[in-house]
Structure 1
């Protein structure tokens, strides 16, 4: 088959490929712009406590002040860490709070100011994917 015949026969495929490239670029650009909106980006904030009572108190404060939409508390965590030059070990309670990225500084400052530990753990995770209706619910609860 000659080159001109081959090009003529396969030209429709090049058009489809071009349209697919435009669609893919548009999708990537849309995804990128969506993640720049910090009110739409979810965060999971994690901190630990020595007692269930302290974790529950903080959980209620975070919900009542609309810094978090949901708080989960998990008992039975065993921690090993170095503190003031000594290796320490003990039971802790984990609190995870769901919020949005534009609340990060507020919730971080709140936890640090109201936590019973001298140096509280305040770690955040940003889920790459989450169910859209759940995300909208979290946004609505922290506004």
Structure 2
């Protein structure tokens, strides 16, 4: 089992996703960011089913950085309730994991 997580954040625009990625990498919270989208999202908000286009930001980071990443997203994301989830990475090549840890250590 690896000590890395894959964090998934939905963002209302490419700019928001890029801004979060830049801060996460600048502060060494994540080693890598990938951006996908736009994707179509359907969800219930305040009792109404909504549809919108969003961008998906993926961050690869040490599990120990989850709290700081969550705090960053809560601080800068424009949504009242940003969708931020993390999944443990159970299988990671040893070279990639070493690179990710090296690039997130202060």
Kindly indicate whether residue 29 of structure 2 is the aligned counterpart of residue 67 of structure 1. Answer: yes
TM-score normalised by structure 2 residue count: 0.94
Query: Helix, strand or coil: the match of 1:91?
Result: strand
Residue number among 78, 83, 86 corresponding to 1:121 in the alignment: 83
Q: Supply the distance in 2 between the matched residues of 1:74 and 1:133 (Cα, whole angstroms).
A: 25
Which structure has more RCO (C-alpha within 8 Å, separation ≥ 6)? 2
Q: Mind listing any 5+ residue stretches in structure 2 that lack a counterpart?
A: none
The structure carrying a bigger helix percent of its residues is 1
Question: What residue is the counterpart of 2:3 in the other structure?
Answer: 41
TM-score, normalization by structure 1? 0.71
Structure 1: where are the runs of 5+ without partners? 1-34
Matching residue of 2:70: 108
Cα-Cα RMSD = 1.0
**Offset at residue 106 of structure 1 (A):** 1.0
Does 2:66 match 1:140?
no
**Residues 75-123 of structure 1 deviation map (CA, whole Å, 9 limit, x = unaligned):** 1211000001100001100000000011111111111111111110110
Identify the structure with the greater strand proportion: 2
1:58 aligned onto 2:20: yes
**1:40-95: CA deviations, max 9, x gaps?**
50100010111111111111111101111000000121100000110000110000
Instruction: Kindly tell me the number of residue pairs found equivalent between the two proteins.
Output: 105
Q: Structure 2 matches for 1:82-93, cutoff 5 A?
A: 82-93=44-55
